[in-house]
Amino acid sequence: MSAETTTAAKEAASLRNNINEHSYRYYVLDAPSIPDNDYDRLFRRLQELEKNFPEVLVLESPTQRVGEKPQPHFDEVKHEVPMLSLGNAFDSEELGDFEKGIQKQLSDTSPLAYTCEPKLDGLAVSLLYENGKLVRAATRGDGSTGENITSNVRTIRSIPLALMGENIPRKLEVRGEVILPLQGFSQLNSKQIGKGEKVFANPRNAAAGSLRQLDSRITATRPLDMYCYAIGWMEGESLPATHGEVLAYLKSLGLKVNPEAAQVTGAEAVAEYCRAMAEKRSTLAYEIDGVVVKVDSLALQAKLGFVTRAPRWAIAYKFPAEEAVTQILDVDFQVGRTGAITPVARLKPVSVGGVTVSNATLHNLDEIKRLDVRINDFVVICRAGDVIPEVQRVVMAQRPDNATQIPQPKHCPVCNSELEYTEGEVIVRCDAGLACQAQLKEAIKHFVSRRALDVEGLGAKLVDQLVDEGLVNNVAELYHLNVEQLSKLERMGPKSAQNVKDALDKSKQTSLQRFLYSLGIREVGDATALALARNFGSLEKIQAANEEVLMAVDDIGPIVAQHIHHFFQQEENINVIHSLLDAGLEWDPVPVVAKSEGSQVAGKTFVITGTLALFTREQAKAKLQEQGAKVSGSVSKKTDYLVAGEEAGSKLSKAQSLGVEVIDEQQLQELLTLIQPHAKENL
């Protein structure tokens, strides 16, 4: 190295230290120590040096946060230590039960010491540091395998590319939550609106979308942040004795940890922390959805171990659903797939737990009566997670003078056909069927949906256009579309048009179950469709079956039988089915399966809860049903097995209290593989 280069290297190293220190103060401590201009000057000097002396450039230089070109895809990362999930508690009683359970296991009734921290609503991410340098970052994925998002994570300014401090371990895998703080979230959405691009529903989605960018230059524009909350594993340094000390150690390495974390003793003090955090929630700069409570002693954590995929030593206390008060500006009526008319309240936009809500469902006309809700009323809106917000009650004390009754619709808001009110029926329907454009659109969306014919790329907007333009008047006409017609639609180029056409062609090879489900017969979900397929074996036989014959199938009662029979009597439906078969839809013959062909699960009732890692819940359900098991939505004494995935909540506790056998996915897999399933095409 020439003398000149050595001098440059020294200066670059000192600049890097200096810049890192200032970034740390700015992004981690939130306490900037120099004006932006001075910082920029240091940064530009470093860039200049690195440009003139490329040999002094290092990957952990602060100038190297943003990559220069997009990646083709994300590689897989296998987590050395699985990234677990947490059980839930919803009130102080459940927090008390959590402590009692631990005390019982330890045969010691003394109150326990815990660390409580906000449960951040973002994405769990793992960072791997080798010799103090960030070498890999990964998403949690299914807990065992995630995606390599190193380039994106490098752009997050509060994450050090090189650790600081004295006790830098040889290897450190640290975990935490990547979030988009509320201010960044609203700025991002304003920008998105300005560019005519999609608005993110909440900060979590925005953070997820930002981390999923293949081009880290886009991620770099999103003001993401990360709080670290655990060590996955470590080599070369020994772990401290408590979680509180782990957080202090991570902080000493320059990683950002949540300043709200606190040590408390006993379940009551935990409940108090949770109450205080719920109060503080609206003043925090980011969204949280609860509190994570962890047994403080790492030795006790090790002793307590895990159940399924969650530790016994930690629990997530979840805040109750969010509420807010706002005014109803108007009420519209929407038409669903089966013609059901649903009233939707248009609201003066209001933020409910960080999400702006401007519509809320009123479910049905009876609900309007029950709530005695009127236009211009002030109402309490409630939103729980991803559930559609609903109007919970009217604030009667605030009823304004101009509160007006919501008129009962006499005609379908879309096709204008007269609505019939049947005595005793809660739901009012438009009877026009597919002649009503709203129902036609919904029928097509259902037909192409994932569990039906799964036509990729044919989204809701496209379906709306196809119907509005009169290109498709029934589901069979989808197969008559050509690339030219498709490419003329909004947001469609020749390439996406070709993709849709290909996806439609591909969907022609299907299964009888999917086909039956896709027809959208009332009350026929995928389970009933499968039962029909397996019991009758062919479409012709189902079409020919009368109500009595249909009712012989397990789980098909008189009402469902009537819907099925009625559907296949309608001339319009018969014609559409003919056209679909003419268009080339086909499936393999279905073996009619007797219930007990050697499967361990046949005839047994299962309930699946929590998030599964090996299959999706749909797949697990389909596999079970394929082997003659029943899959129910709620736990009762009749349940034979509860399959508990991650974040199993109330169903798990109910199963335990009823003495229902609880199995994990691995055990389910074993039960399923004791015989080989034969009707694979249904998956």
> What residues make contact with ligand IVH under the rule CB under 6 A?
84-86, 117, 119-120, 124, 140, 177, 229-230, 292, 311, 314, 316, 647
Write down the least CB distance from residue 622 to ligand IVH, Å: 26
Closer to ligand IVH by Cβ: residue 290 or 339: 290
- Residue closer to ligand IVH by CB (options 21, 272) is 272
Sheet holding 225-235, edge to edge: 133-139, 123-130, 171-179, 225-235
In the block, which residue shows the tokens 């450039």? 57
Spatial separation of the C-alpha atoms in residues 23 and 44, rounded to whole Å: 14
Phi and psi at residue 290, to the nearest 5°: 165, -160
CB of 308 to ligand IVH, least distance (A): 12
Two tokens at 487? Answer: 């490419």
Task: Give Cβ neighbours of residue 123 (< 8 Å, ≥ 6 apart).
Answer: 139, 140, 177, 178, 179, 204, 207, 208, 211
Rounded to whole angstroms, the Cα distance separating 201 from 185 reads 10
HEC secondary structure over 340-373: EEEEEEEEEEEEECCEEEEEEECCCHHHHHHHCC
- What one-character DSSP code corresponds to residue 24? I
In whole angstroms, the minimum distance from the beta carbon of 145 to ligand IVH comes to 15
Query: Is the Cβ of residue 89 or residue 455 nearer to ligand IVH in the bound state?
Result: 89
Which CB sits closer to ligand IVH, 207 or 463? 207
Q: Taking the complex as a whole, how short is the minimal distance between the CB of residue 113 and ligand IVH, in angstroms?
A: 17
What is the distance between the alpha carbons of residues 328 and 379, in angstroms, rounded to a whole number? 7
Which residue's structure tokens are 């808001």?
413
DSSP 291-344: EEEEESBHHHHHHH-EETTEETTEEEEEPPPEEEEEEEEEEEEEE-TT-BEEEE
Residue 46 or 295 having the CB closest to ligand IVH: 295
Cβ closer to ligand IVH: 255 or 419?
255
Nearer to ligand IVH, 512 or 652 (CB): 652
Q: In this structure, which amino acid lies at residue 99?
A: E
Using the minimum distance from each CB to ligand IVH, give the nearer residue, 117 or 664. Answer: 117
How near is the Cβ of 535 to ligand IVH at its closest, in Å?
41
Cα separation values, 278 from 242, 274, 357, Å:
25, 6, 21
Q: Are 287 and 182 in contact (CB under 8 A)?
A: yes
User: CA–CA separation, 533 vs 518, rounded Å?
Assistant: 13
* Minimum gap (Å) between residue 123 Cβ and ligand IVH: 7
Nearer to ligand IVH, 475 or 652 (CB): 652
Closer to ligand IVH by CB, 12 or 230: give it.
230
Beta bridge mates, 291: 118, 317
Phi, then psi, of 442 in degrees rounded to 5 = -65, -35
Q: DSSP per residue over 229-278, as a string? A: EEEEEEESS---SBHHHHHHHHHHTT----TT-EEEESHHHHHHHHHHHH
Contact (CB, 8 A) for 20 and 164: yes
Catalytic site residue from 119, 441, 621, 651? 119
Q: Cβ of residue 464: shortest distance to ligand IVH, in angstroms?
A: 36
Task: Name residue 469's beta-bridge partners.
Answer: none
The least distance separating ligand IVH from the CB of residue 503, rounded to whole angstroms, comes to: 33
- In order of 281, 641, 669, the CA distances from 615 in angstroms are 35, 17, 10
Q: Dig out the tokens for 242 from the structure.
A: 């408590």
CB–CB of 373/379 below 8 Å?
yes
DSSP assignment of 94-108: HHHHHHHHHHHHHT-
Q: How far apart are CA 578 and CA 142, in angstroms?
A: 43
Are residues 627 and 672 in contact, defined by beta-carbon separation less than 8 angstroms?
yes
Residue closer to ligand IVH by CB (options 316, 448) is 316
Q: How far apart are the C-alpha atoms of 418 and 408, rounded to whole Å?
A: 12
Least distance from ligand IVH to the Cβ atom of residue 124, Å:
3
Shortest spacing between CB 150 and ligand IVH, in angstroms: 19
Closest residue to bound ligand IVH by CB: 124
Q: In whole angstroms, how far apart are CA 345 and each of 201, 283, 358, 398, 577?
A: 19, 29, 8, 18, 38
Say whether 119 is catalytic: yes
Q: Which helix (H) or strand (E) holds 138?
A: strand 133-139
Report, in angstroms and rounded to the nearest whole number, the Rg of the chain calculated over CA atoms.
Answer: 29
297 vs 437 by CB, closer to ligand IVH: 297
Residues involved in catalysis = 119
